[in-house]
Structures are given as structure tokens and as C-alpha cells.
Structure 1
Amino acid sequence: MLKKTLLFSFLMVLSLQTFAQKTPVEKTIAEITKDAIKKEGFFNYYWDEDAGKVYLEIKKFDEEFLYINSLSAGIGSNDIGLDRGKLGGTSVVEFRRVGSKILLVEPNYSYRAVSNNADEVEAVKQAFAESVLQGFKVEAEENGVVLIDITPMILTDSYGVANTLNRSRQGTFRFDASRSAIYPPMLKNFPKNSEFEATITLVGSATGGALRSVTPSSDAVTVRMHYSFVELPDAGYKPRKLDPRSGFFGTSYMDYATPIQEDIRKRFINRHRLAKKDPNAKVSEAVEPIIYYVDRGAPEPIKSALIEGGQWWNQAFEAAGYKNAFQVREMPADADPMDVRYNLVQWVHRSTRGWSYGSSVSDPRTGEIIKGHVSLGSLRVRQDFLIAQGLINPYENGTTPDPIMLKLAIARLRQLSAHEIGHTIGLSHSYASSADGDASVMDYPHPQIGLKNGKITLDAPYDIGIGEWDKVAVTYGYQDFPKGTDEDKALNDIIEKGLKEGLHFLTDSDSRSPGSAHPFSHLWDNGKSPVDELNRLMEVRTIALKNFSEQNIPMGAPMTTLEEVFVPVYMLHRYQLEAASKVIGGAYYNYKLRGDSQPLQQTVPVGEQKAALASLMNVLKPENLEVPEHILKIIPPRTPGYGRSRETFNVRTGVLFDPVSPGEAVAATTMSFLFNSQRATRLVQQKAMDSNQVGLQDVINAMANLAFDANYSGYRAELQKVIADSFISELMSLSMSSQASVSTQAEAMAALRNFSKKLASGNDTFQNELAFRLARFLENPKEVAPTTSLTPPDGSPIGMDAQFWCTFEGN
């Protein structure tokens, strides 16, 4: 019995040892790849066309590199957001070998211990999960080099196109391997990066109009997905701390080796590596300049405008003490945009105008930017052209347009190029800069429209060059200090100098929401005072509407296309009225640090709030909502082939242009700002703390006077009715909003009760019907839905990028 037990144990040990050994590989690398094309570079790999496979050589294991996925050929819809050249995820990864299996592993750099104590470092690594992104088997091995088949990794929906289509309600799709294949033209290799690409097809059922409008067959969506293996930078880069006042994007992680009295979260700015040849010199050339390359596919004069605008950044680097450290050039004919050594500005086509993006490939460990990647939407320049077309009579002579329109569009392109490149050097949006005399190209600028002797002028629609805030930010991020400098103090001094010059920095979180509160921080607004600029724009708008005629389109164009030109004129004030609404219930504040020179938060003074309310009431007067009679006469029904689109007004009148719908859209939009639940709650609270301040009831009373008490007739009376209906609907929504305070809900409900009684007591048929609807709502709020008002045609982007996000999500 003992002998049998010992024999069994021996056999078990032998079996386990055999299992732990590497599975023998039957073929050599040379045999497997004998008919394949070898591509040498960062990772040597082979393309076997007959088998449709890509084989990768691994010479070193447990050595980190960057893994990036992107879309090299997209869908072409701004609404869906799957554009050509759009970057996806960026991960630090490494290959690890376990017997005959190779794992592609992403370490967890969100949690670290920056310490010389190896046990402390290891303890944090073991506390948080890693991610194994892909597994492979060893296909062959020679002289320490392992060959794997990475085709299954490339032939997947790694970018998540199917999920994006589902989230955007465009349909349910799945990856179809039978309709997907490696894309040989983009199998490329470079010294610092290896590039792979595949044609990927998703099949399913399309339910969204955006997808159907840009695909030949909407049940099969074919894109190209790109994969990059990129060498990580060496250890010579020194991270720079992130100051919330500096205007930079950042990289952060939790460092468990931090002393208890210090912040455990470490924050560093994202920036390119840049150093002076002579750090002691006030002005010095760079050891290696930052160079951006513009897509050769951009046509003239657009390409030259993109180069010129991008070159503006050299002004900021000069202010930081560099000579010719930032350069922009046309992409050389023999260069490849996929080569990580080239910072790229590419020209992207879509079916509609859309956002542009300033993205970066950066090292997640340190924040060092490795490659800047800008995508500029080609149709956006046409929107700027359209704004100019509506403001003047550019076709007075028939078919030759006024050259001022192209001048405005090109001026905007220069600014757009500078803005998006700004994101790729690490800068976030600076939305308060328009109040500081356009101190940053990182703001969203509306064209500056002048008035001279009662005439509209477009002499200087956009600023030229970098702003003062941009110089402060770049100096903070890129200044190369002499050895021995107290860097923390020097960096703080840079910020303080900008503050003393009266510069402000506020970004997306304080600007994009309709309920945001800072009067200076908004998209597409202009001027030091949002209210004064709104009043001025109303004057400009009045003149533009008065002058609007068939001379706003070229001879021979369908008259129905006048509506597309009319829209940006009628909606000229849309962004400024949103900015002015932030004055009401607003506050002046900043990203203050303890001990800095910035003032404490202050509620907007009552005089400014009342002025803003009066200005918004003026916008809503029926005489300012009506479409002038001479315009109604010249806009006919839609011509065949020129149907309604996102660039035209929604209507309730079928084929005919609706004279009321534009006013309804403006009224509903304005009231949605005024009665935003966050703003309304602030109004209730500020009135409670200061009885002299504007309160929610003050806004309700002003609106009620316009909606119910003012005496209008005819066309203007119809506009007054849509004002009243929208007003009541907003109050109904506010009274039921879970985002509003209980006091705010109560004030809204009390106002509705008062209106129900008041409107029922009169002889006006419309007001009596409104009272009846209110009575039903008050009896059972959940069964009476507020009216869904018409929304205005698309506004943003009028020529600039997107959301913070600019893929960080600009631009």
C-alpha cells in the first residue's frame, strides 16, 4: 500500500512538472513567416496575406509601452461622434509570459506608492486589480524571440462602435467577423511605434436617422480601426504640479506613500517635453522644438490659415523665454500621419457641421504629451460664412459674393487652429477670457459685429494672435527654470502676475450648464458686460433683419434657401441671452487658493441682476420675436430637393414657413434659462438672505406682466400666446422638478394656483383654456404634461470645438 502511494505521488509530481513546462512549438518563426512580409520597427511583425494574419515578434517581456486604439475611417456624423482620426483609449501595457501563454496586461497606475521601499510599492500593486486585455499562445520561438498571432486582437470592435451606436440610439449592432479583415495599406512600422489597422463591419438594425443618413446600407456599418504600440518616453521628463488656476489639463493618481499630513492625490499638468538649450538665459532656443504638421489634404486658402493660426502659439512660447520653440509646417510628402513622431492637424469631413477636437497621446504615468492630434471639421467654416451672409447683402451685384464673407471665415479658421492646438499642448477652455478683452484663444468667440453710422461692419470679426492669458498659461507650463530656482514659488508668481493684470480663468464646469452662475463664463459670448452686449446685439439684429432681402443669396439660388441664411440672423443673440441669464441668481467667484490675491465670492449686485432681467424681458417682447413682413413675403415653401433640415426652423404649418415658430423657439429657450431649477433655487435663497435682492417671484411677476397683462393684437398677440404657454409650462416643470429645493417647488406651485384663478376670471378664450389646463394640473400634476415647445435650429458649433471634452472633450 505504501509503495502504491509513493508511486502515485511520484506520478502526480511528474505530471505537474510536465504540465508546467512550455508546450513544445512545432514550427520555427522562419517556417511560419516564410511567405509573409516582414515589417521592422518598434515591434517587428509579419503580414501573411494568404492567411490574412499578422504575427508579432516579442523580444522583451515585462517591458511597458503604450497601446492606443483609434478610428482611421469613421462614420461621418457629428451627432454620432465616430469621426475619422478620433482617438480612443490610451493604456500603458506590457506582455507577460506564463508558460506557453502570452498575456497583454494593463497595470493599474491610478493607485501607486512612489517609494524606494519595494515592499510598499508591491503592497499597493497587490491591493488593486490589473486588467488582462488579451491573451495569446506562442506560435514559435527562436533565440529568445517569441512569435504570436495578434490578428484576433485587431479583428474586434475594440473602439466600441457598437456600444456608441446603441448609446446614441442609432440601433443595435454586433461585430461580424466574416465581413472584417486586416487593412494592409496601414500596416506600418516606425522606430518608436508599430501600427496596425483593420476593416471592421458591424451588422444589425439601424433605428436612428443620423446613421441612416451617412451609410449606403444602414444594416452594415463598416469603419476602420487602428491600433498603435508606442514606445514610452525615457525617465528624463520632470512632471510639473497642477495648479487649478493655471488652465491646464492634468493627470492624477493616488500615492499611498504620501505622508498623512499631505494630499494623497498627486496632480500634474499635461504638457510636451520642452527645455531650453541654456536654462540660465532669458531667451534661448529649445533643445528640441515642438513641431506640428498640417494635413496636406486641406485645400487652400484653408491650409495656409491653419498654419498661420497654429504658429500664433510661438508668441506664447516667446513670452516664456523660448526662441522659435513652436513651429507649424505642412506635412512632408514622405511623412506618415500615423508616425508618433509627428504632431498632426488633420482636416476631417462629415455630412454636417460638427465639433473639432484637440486630442493628445500622453503618458498616463507622468502626463507627458507624446503626440498632439487635432481634428478639424471641414463644414464648420461654412457656418461662419453663413453668419456673414445673413448680416450683410453680399450678393447685391448678383453672383459675386462680398469678399468680406471669406475673410471672416478664414479669420475664424486661424483662431480655430490655434484653439485646437492649444488643447494638444495641454490647455483647457478659458471661457471667462471674453470678458478680459479676448485674453485667450481657448475661449469660444462669437464674431465681433460692429455698428458704424447705423450700418453693420465686419472689419475685425476675430482677434489675431495669442491672448495675454495664453502667455501666462504657457509660461506656467513650459518655463524652464535655472538650477536652484524655488519652482513652487516661481510658478505661483506667474499665476499671481496674471491675476494682478486682471485676467480670469474659468472652464467647462462653470460654463456649459444652463444653470451655471458666473456672468463672465460662457460659450460664444462677447464683452465685459453680458447684458450690455446683449442690448447691443439686439440693435445689430434689428438692423440686419431690416436689411434682409433676396440679395442675401446669389442670383439663381432657390428662394427657399433664404431661410437657411435667415436663421443665424434671427438667432443672432442666442448665446448672449444665455450669458445674460447667468447674471440672474449669479455670483462672481474664482478658483481661489488660500492665501492668494483673488477676491472672495460675491453675489451679483441687485442692480446688475435687475438690468439683466429687463434685458431678457426686452428679448421676449412680441415685437422682438416677430418676423418682419418683408421677410415673410420672400420665404416660400420648401423647394423639392431642399427639404427642412437641422439648419431650418421647426414649424407647425406644414409646407409653409411658420411666422410664429421662430418666436416660440426663442421664448421657450429664454424661459428654460430663467426657470432652470438651479437658477430658480438660487433666486429663492438669495431673496431669503437679502430681501433687497431679485427673487424667483420677481422673475415670475415680470414674465406674467409680459405674458398676460400687456395688450397686443393680431400677429403679436399670437406670439404673446406662445410666450404665455411656454411660461406656464416652465413653471409646471419647475414645480415638479426633483432638482429644485422644496421652497422653489412651493413658490412655483403657488404661482400656478394664482394664475389658475386669475386667468379663469377673465373673458379671454385663450387664457380661460390655459386656466382649465392649470386646474387639471393642480388637481393631478402627473397626468397633465407641460407643452413641448419647438426648439431652435442647431447652434453650436458655430465654428469651434466641443466640450471640455475636446476628447479630454474641446474641442
Structure 2
Amino acid sequence: MRALLLLWTALLAPATAAEAPKTFAGQTQSLAVQPGFIELWRDEGKGRVLLSVRELDQPFLLVSSLPYALGSNDVGLDRAQAGSAKLVRFQKFGERLFLVQENTRFVARSADADERNAVAESFAGAVLWAGDILASDGPRHLVDFSSFLLADQHGVIQRLDETKQGAYHVDGKRSAVLPAEAKAFPDNVELEALLTFAGPGNGEYVRQVAADPASLTMRQHISLVRLPDNGYKPRAYHPFSGGIDTGYYDFATPLAGSLDVRWQIRHRLEKGGKPIVYYLDRGAPEPVRSALLEGARWWTSAFEKAGFKDGFRVELMPEGADPADVRYNVITWVHRATRGWSYGNAVTDPRTGQIIRGSVTLGSQRVRQDILIAEALLAPYGKSSPAERHQLAEQMALARLRQLAAHEVGHTLGFAHNFAASRQGNGSVMDYPHPVLKLGADGAIDLQDAYGAGVGPWDEYMVKYIYGDYGSGEAEASALSKLRSDARAAGMQYVSDEDSRAPGASHPNGLLWDFGPDTLKTWDQLGAIRRRALDNFSYDVLPGERQAGELEARLVPVYLLQRYQGEAVARLLAGGEYESTTSADIRAGRADAGIRATPATTQRAALARLADTLRAEYLALPARVLDQLTPPSTGYERSKEYFGTRMTAVFDALSAAESGAAQTASFLFDAGRLNRLYWQHARDDAMPGPDEVIAATLSRSWKRGPVPGNLAGGEAVQLAADWVVLDALLQVLDGGKLHANVDAGLREQLRGFAAWLKANPGKGTTAASRSQAADYILRYLADPRSVKLRALPVIPPGAPI
């Protein structure tokens, strides 16, 4: 027995001797320390990163980003994309360290520890990671942080699932920590890992972009950031500031106060202090690079007017610098498989709203869409086309890039959209600009001044309001109050996303992609340009080396040229202006309460224009255009940028007409708009109601007179639009969002319409459609479940432009 014991001792001895001692020196032998906010050691031999945690229970910020990403606009995992900041701390439990996230949405800002704890104990926090302590030295604890870096901290898996790309997971055998990328600085630590996400690989979007859609390899960057010192002075958010807010529920507020505490997000900027500096991605080529630098620098003048000389700068990223380093505010030129949105995100301290880092993502293909639109309008490739037309398209696109750079940087400075600013021309770069199109004296389309230059009056107001130094207390409140009053006196309005994006939104000035102070005048102006462009549409809009089928794609933005202004016209129906403000400003007379309804005459003028877009005279294409359209060449195919087709390879003029009709019908028959129409008519019978809107629509579609014989396929186009109108009416009825009395009125109108169809059968193909429509309506009204409603036609994407 003794011999057996000695044998086991001998066998185990080498393994025991090989174990590294549980000391810092033993664990980090031959590894160089990087001192900083948190000490770290790179272990490239074992592919790991060790951290020395000295301060337990001390909060700091955790931020993720993607230095290498997916490249799909539809999925939304872009290069340099930053995640939101999490307030975290290390805690020790036994021989392990935990990384714990605080719940910053619910707090008690109180000097009383028991009051603070009562809130902390009421709402769940989260343990993000736990790891064994490798060694301890007094207050210092050494851990291998690799398992945290090798987990999906950015939410890639969730995003792939949300966009229906399948269930993915991190494949640990094909993932690795990147010790060479680990860096420690006095106020931040930067860490990186290569992650491979394994999944089914059958999603449309991953198949479109990935080398192997079943194996998506990206990089995840993690920043650990020291919290700012207490020298920052937060500024309370005001609804008319034009800014972006952040906040929390504070249960320590007085009983009469609001639990909902909101701060304006902004960079720390003090007179005589460090300027705000942004760095442009070195991957942006010329002439894009110069345009982006120039546009982003537009903000310099606004900061100077706010009293900050040299307070804002934009420079090219230093060669060799890591753009994922949280110390840099970055403007990144991002490539994707398709055109898509650009973004401006700010990483903020959730306690105060102080911006830690600005992160701008500019999609590289947007500029090409502007060039496409310009070429489709200018037709610069004809033999007799002036040479300068070639340059004008690119000049217009670069002008748009300057504006885009200023816009997205503006978001990272803390500024929200203001979609009412276009009422004052170049009122703000924080609006979405439609190119300002004109017809010259010679009848030619003029794009010379398509986009404005420089920031506008609203932008200068925002910088003064959000960054200006006005002391504190009553002095600050008085100065900010005067800024708001002066802005309103200058005619400035503020309408942002929540009051602008919904199809049935009601504020007539909260408009994306419109221009001009008069909605109806701009509509008429664009209508004349659309007609001119369609009449002149030919292969002169297409560069000679492009395959002929691409002519269809260039037809889309011309045919739908009024799509955004159509939305603006629809806003006049049951529309009304109102302000973002506070009760104090209303009582002081600095702002108005309530909603100022659009006059009835304006509403009816808007209805007439929209209803006219459902007529064949508007929707039918010129015969000469139809005769030129050629199917995509071999090896090419129609993308979502084309009109759909049910005619196999050839262009489908009926699908184009259906898309145009759907654009109008979706705005006219929005449930919210119909409910508002009903209510405004109930309060004042001089105002149009839903019955009038539906009657006007049917009179210009199903009930109209004969279609002129000179329109190519005119009757067929009209019937295609008619069916879209009916489908839209049944869809809104079936959606369940109408008030019961509005629903009842629409059903009664449809019964009456079915009776009209039977009493007016028409001839030929019109007779067939009217007979089927009457039967369709009555069957649905009798038993909705017995009828499978058709979805409205797909409209090719327009935004972003």
C-alpha cells in the first residue's frame, strides 16, 4: 500500500511543479505590463489578455464597437458601429471577480445611502461576466479577461435574429482574443477579439455580403473607460432646445416634482479649455475626403458665434491611430453591399449626458444615388448635351456629402433632427434636404443650387443653447429663455422625429425631404419638372458603358419624383401646427398652446392634387419611354431599386402605375388621418371629413370618365390604379385602427360604391373590373374572413437620398 502511494506521488509531482504560483510575478512572468486606467498584460503565446483590477466597486463605462463588420445595410452591423455605454463595476465574491452592470434607468440621487439602496434593490441589475482570480496582491486582483472578450458583447447574434438571418452562435474554436491590439491609457483600456459566428447561412442578407454566410467573421472591440470627473456641469433638457436628451427616473425628487429627469447630451466644452476635435477616416478617397472635411467643419463658425474660438475642429485621422480607440471622435466612411442610411451616435455618461465619444457612420453608396438622380434629370450623355452637365451631377453629389457630414456630426454633438427647418430655406443641416430643383428660363431642369452650404440659423441657435456659457441658476435660466423667445420671434419652428416619420403624422411642417415655404407651390413646381424629365427620358441619362437594363432603375426616381412632396401635401389633410415646449413658456407667452388646424381651403386644394395622382394622365408613361425600356442584360438582374414586374423579363408598366397609386393611397387612407378627418368635421362641418376624401378619390379613379385615347395603355393603367385604391380602403378597414363610428361610415360608403358599380357596369375590361370589384366589396362586408385581401404593391426605396 505504501509503495502504491509513493507511485501516485511520483506521478503527480511533475504536474504540481508545473503549475504557476498564484502570485502576480508568477502569472505574468515574461509578460510586459501596460500601466493605465486598468493594468493589462498581453499574453500572445496563449492568446489571452490579463487585467489587474485594483479598485473594486468603482463604476466605469463599458462600450463595444465593430472594427470589422458585416457590410449589410439591411442587417445593420456596420464597420466602426458603436454600442451604447454601460455603467459597470468589478465586484469580488470569494475567489472570483464579477463584472456587474448597474441599472441606470432607476436611481435615487440622494445623500441618504438607505434611500439610494432602496431603489437599487428594487430594479434588477446584471452580471455580465465572472472569472477566477489568478492572483492577488493586496487590493490588486489578476484575472484572465479573455472569456469576456470572446462572448458576443455587441449584440450581433440578436441583430442577426431580429433581421431573420437565422440563429447564430459564437464558435469558440474559430474565435480568438487579439492581444496585440490591447492597449492601456490613463483613462481607458482598449481590447479586441476576432469572433466567428456560426449559423445556417440561408438568410437573404448574409448571403448577399458574406464570404461564407454560415461563417461570419468580425471583430469586436471593447473599451473600458474611466468616468469623467465632477467638473462637468449638466444642462437640463428643454423640448425646444433642438437637442437630444438622456435621463432616468429619480425617486429622490420631491413629491411634487417629476420622476422623469432629463439631461441634454453634449460634449464638455469650456472657454479656454480643450476643443472638440473630430477625426475623418483615412479610407475616404478624394474628392469625397475634401467634401467631408469641409462639410463637418461648417460647425466651426457656429461654435465661434457661441463664444468658443477654436472650440471645434475636424482633422484627418493621424496615420497609424486606432479609430476604435474611445479617445477619438470619428467620422467613418463605411461600405455596404447596397446604399443605406448614415448615422451619428454619441456614447454618453448615463448619469449626466456628457458625451464621451462621437461616432459618425457615413454610407459610401448614398453619394452614387445623388449622381444617379442628377443624371436621370439632366440627361448628360446625349451627343448635344453640354459638357458641363457631366460635372454638374458630381458637383451636386459632393454638395450633398458636405451637408451629410455636417448633419451626422451634428447628431454626435447632441443635436436632433429639425424637419421644419426647410421652411426657411437652408434653415438647418439637421433637416433632411431634398435637392432644390428648378426649371430655367429655357425650360431646362436646373440643379445648380440643389443643396445649400453652411449651417443655418437654427443650427447656430442650437449651439448657443446647448453649449453656451451663461453662468448658473437664474442667470442661466433667463439667458436660455431669451434664446427660445428670440428663435420663435425669428420664425423658427422645431418638429423632430416623433412628429414627422409616421405616414399619418399631422404636423404640416415636420417634413422629411421637402423644400420651400409653400407645400402646394413646391408640389406644382416638382410636377412640372417631373413631366419635363419624363418627356425627355432616354438613354441619354445612362453612361455608355452601363448595361441597357439599368435604364429602368433610373426611371424610378424620375417617375416617383414627387413622392416626398406628396407626403407633405398629405400632411395638410387634417393637419395642424403645434409646438414642443413647456407649460412655463406657454404661461409666459413665449409659446402657444394647442393645435392650429390647416384651413379648409388649403386642405381641399391638397386633396385635389393628391387625388389627381390616381388618374391615368399622371400615371401613364409616354409611349416613347415605354418603347425604349430593355430587360436587364444577361448576368444582371432587377434589384429592389427597380419597379416590380409580373411580366417575367420585361418592364411592367402596370406595376409601376400600381406603385405610384400605392404611394398616394397609403397617405390618403392612413387610419390616423381618417380618424382626424372625422373629428375635425364633427367639430366644424366646414372642414373636410373622411367621406369627402373618399368621394374625391373615387371620383378621380373608379368613377372618372373615359381615359383619353392618346395615353399609352391608358385604360389599363387607370384600372390598375383603381384596384390599388380599393385594396387600400379595404386594408384600412381590416386593420382595426379606425374608431367604430369612422369604421361604420367607411363601410356605408363602400356599400354605396358597390351599388354604383353595379348600376354603372361600363364596357370591356372596365366592365369586368367593376363587376369583380362590386362582388369583392360585398363579400368582404358580409364575411371578412372569406376574403383574402391583397397587400398594397411594393414601392421601390427612395430614402435615403
Both structures adopt the same fold (TM-score exceeding 0.5)? yes
Deviates more, 1:233-242 or 1:90-99: 90-99
Matches of residues 203-242 of structure 1 in structure 2 within 5 Å? 203-242=198-237
Query: Which 5+ residue runs of structure 1 have no aligned equivalent?
Result: 1-23, 278-286, 799-811
Matches within 5 A, 1:612-651: 612-651=606-645
Select which of 153, 159, 173 maps to 1:158. 153
Deviations 1:141-180 (A, max 9, x none): 2353211011111111222222211111111222221121
Q: Percent identity?
A: 40
Q: Partners in 1 of 2:275 and 2:383 — Cα distance? A: 49
Partner SS state of residue 329, structure 1: strand
**Once superposed, which parts of structure 1, at least 4 consecutive aligned residues long, lie more than 3 Å away?**
35-40, 397-401, 482-485
Counterpart contact for 1:25–1:141, Cα < 8 Å: no
* Matching of residue 720 in structure 1 with residue 714 in structure 2: no
Contact 1:192 1:230 in 2 (8 A): yes
Change (3 A) 1:528 1:785: farther
**Matching residue of 2:411:** 423
Number of the residue aligned with 2:515: 526
**2:484 matched residue in structure 1:** 495
Q: What is the Cα deviation at residue 50 of structure 1? A: 2.6
Q: Is the 8 A contact 1:732 1:749 kept in 2?
A: no
Q: How far 1:88 sits from its partner (Å)?
A: 1.6
Confirm or deny that 1:186 pairs with 2:174.
no
* Aligned residue in 2 for 1:592: 581
- The one-letter code sitting in structure 2 at the alignment partner of 1:708 is W
Question: 1:428·1:507 contact (CA, 8 Å) conserved in 2?
Answer: yes
| 2:740 alignment counterpart | 742
SS of 2:617's equivalent in the other structure is helix
The letter for the 1-side match of 2:576 is: A
SS of the residue corresponding to residue 750 of structure 1 reads helix
Q: Matches of residues 45-84 of structure 1 in structure 2 within 5 Å?
A: 45-84=40-79
Q: Is the 8 A contact 1:200 1:225 kept in 2?
A: yes
Counterpart Cα distance in 1 of 2:118 and 2:637: 64
**Residue of structure 2 aligned with 1:469, choices 440, 445, 458:** 458
Structure 2 residue aligned with 1:730 = 728
595-604 or 424-433: bigger deviation: 595-604
Q: Which amino acid aligns with 1:93?
A: V
SS at match of 2:653: coil
Q: 2:697 matched to 1:697?
A: no
Select which of 64, 84, 100 maps to 1:105.
Answer: 100
Deviation digits for residues 490-515 of structure 1 (CA, Å, limit 9, x no counterpart): 11111111011000011000011001
Partner of 2:774: 771
Q: Classify 1:198/1:484 alpha carbon distance in 2 versus 1 (closer, same or farther; 3 Å).
A: closer
- Please give the residue correspondences for 1:534-545 in structure 2 after superposition, counting only pairs within 5 Å: 534-545=523-534
Match in the other structure for 2:6: none
Match of 1:578 among 567, 575, 590: 567
- Cα distance in structure 2, aligned partners of 1:521 and 1:686: 20
Give TM-score, length-normalised by structure 2. Answer: 0.93
Aligned residues of 2:221 and 2:324 also touching (Cα < 8 A): no
Report the CA distance shift for 1:185/1:791 in structure 2 as closer, same or farther (over 3 A). farther
Q: What does residue 296 of structure 1 align with?
A: 282
How far has the Cα of 1:336 moved from its partner?
A: 2.3
Worse-superposed segment, 659-668 or 49-58: 49-58
Give the Å deviation of 1:243.
0.3
When the two structures are superposed, what TM-score results if normalisation uses the length of structure 1? 0.92
What is the DSSP-based 3-state SS (H/G/I as helix, E as strand, rest coil) of the residue aligned with 1:322? coil
For residue 272 of structure 1, the aligned residue among 267, 272, 282 is 267
Task: Give the 5 Å matches for 1:320-335.
Answer: 320-335=306-321
Higher deviation after alignment, 647-656 or 752-761: 752-761
> Which residue of 433, 444, 454 corresponds with 2:432?
444
The answer as to 2:791 corresponding to 1:788 is yes
**What's the offset of the Cα at 1:83?**
0.8
The Cα shift of 1:291 comes to 0.9
Please state how far the C-alpha of 1:184 moved relative to its aligned partner: 4.0
Partner of 1:146: 141
User: Which residue does 1:281 correspond to in 2?
Assistant: none
Distance 1:658-1:784 versus aligned 2 partners, 3 A rule: same
Code of the residue aligned with 1:126 in structure 2: it is E
Any idea what the Cα deviations from partners look like across 1:593-647, whole Å, max 9, x if unmatched?
2224223311111011001111112222211111111111221111112210021
After superposition, the C-alpha distances for 1:278-322 in whole angstroms (9 at most, x for unaligned) are xxxxxxxxx111111111110011111111111111121122122
SS at match of 2:191: strand
2:191 counterpart residue number: 196
1-structure distance, mates of 2:746, 2:31? 73
The match for 2:379 is 393
- With 495-504 and 54-63 compared, the bigger mean Cα shift is at 54-63
Deviation at 1:59, TM superposition (A): 1.7
Amino acid in structure 1 at the alignment position of 2:567: E
Given that 1:734 and 1:748 are in contact with CA atoms closer than 8 Å, whether structure 2 keeps it comes out as no
- The match for 1:513 among 486, 489, 502 is 502
CA contact (8 A) 2:419 2:431 kept: yes
Structure 1 partner of 2:257: 262
What's the offset of the Cα at 1:74?
Answer: 1.2
Q: Distance in 2 between matches of 1:681 and 1:25?
A: 74
SS in 2 for 1:243: coil
Aligned residues: 766
Residue in 2 aligned with 1:408? 396
1:29 maps to what in 2? Answer: 24
1:715-752 per-residue CA deviation (whole Å, 9 max, x = no partner) reads: 11111111211111111122222211111211221122
How many angstroms does 1:254 deviate by? 2.1
Aligned counterpart, 2:327: 341
Q: What letter corresponds to residue 799 of structure 2 in structure 1?
A: S
**For the Cα contact (< 8 Å) 1:735–1:746, is it kept in 2?**
no
Query: How far apart are the structure 1 equivalents of 2:319 and 2:429?
Result: 30
Residues 760 and 772, structure 1, Cα contact 8 Å, conserved in 2:
no
Provide closer, same or farther for how the CA distance between residues 96 and 25 of structure 1 changes in structure 2, counting only shifts above 3 A: farther
Q: 1:558 aligns with which of 539, 542, 547?
A: 547
Q: State which drifts further: 393-402 or 556-565.
A: 393-402
What RMSD over aligned residues (CA atoms) do the two structures have, in Å?
Answer: 1.8
1:654 to 642, 648, 651: 648
Cα distance in 1, alignment partners of residues 436 and 246 from structure 2: 36
Residue 765 of structure 1 and its aligned partner are, at CA, apart by: 1.8
1:131 to partner: Cα distance: 2.0
2:735 is aligned with what amino acid? S
In the other structure, the counterpart of 1:91 is: 86
CA distance in 2, matches of 1:704, 1:436: 36
Residues 479-490 of structure 1 aligned to structure 2 (within 5 Å): 479-482=468-471, 486-490=475-479
